[in-house]
Amino acid sequence: MSNHDLTSLPTLQASPPSDATHEVVAGHFSHAPSWALLQTWNNSPDANFARGQVHLAQHDESLWIFAALEDHFIGTRATSDGQMLWELGDCFEIFLGADVISPYLEIHLAPNGFSLELAWGEEGNARPNLKLEEVMTSGLLGARRVWSEAQNKRWFALAQIPFAGFLAQSQNEFLASFSRYDYSGSGEEFELQRPILSSTSPHSSGEDNWPSFHCRAEWRTLRR
CATH number at residue 122: 2.60.40.1190
CA distances from 19 to 24, 135, 143 (A): 10, 31, 11
Q: Which domain holds residue 207?
A: 6-223
The H or E element spanning position 69 is strand 62-70
- Quote the DSSP letter at residue 61: T
Q: Could you tell me if residue 160 is inside a domain? A: yes
In angstroms, the CA 65 to CA 72 distance is 22
70-81 confidence digits (pLDDT tens): 999 999 999 999
Per-position pLDDT tens, the chain of length 224: 544 579 999 999 999 998 999 999 999 999 999 999 999 999 899 988 999 999 999 999 999 999 999 999 999 999 999 999 999 999 999 999 999 999 999 999 999 999 999 999 988 887 777 888 999 999 999 999 999 999 999 999 999 999 999 999 889 999 999 999 999 876 566 677 789 999 999 999 877 778 999 999 999 999 99
Q: Could you tell me if residue 1 is inside a domain? A: no
What per-residue string of b and e applies to 139-151 under the rule 16 or more CB within 10 Å gives b? ebbbebbbbbeee
Number of Cβ within a 10 Å radius of residue 126: 11
pLDDT at 194: 86
- As for how many domains the chain has, the answer is 1
Q: What is the pTM of this model?
A: 0.94
6-45 confidence digits (pLDDT tens): 999 999 999 999 899 999 999 999 999 999 999 999 989 9
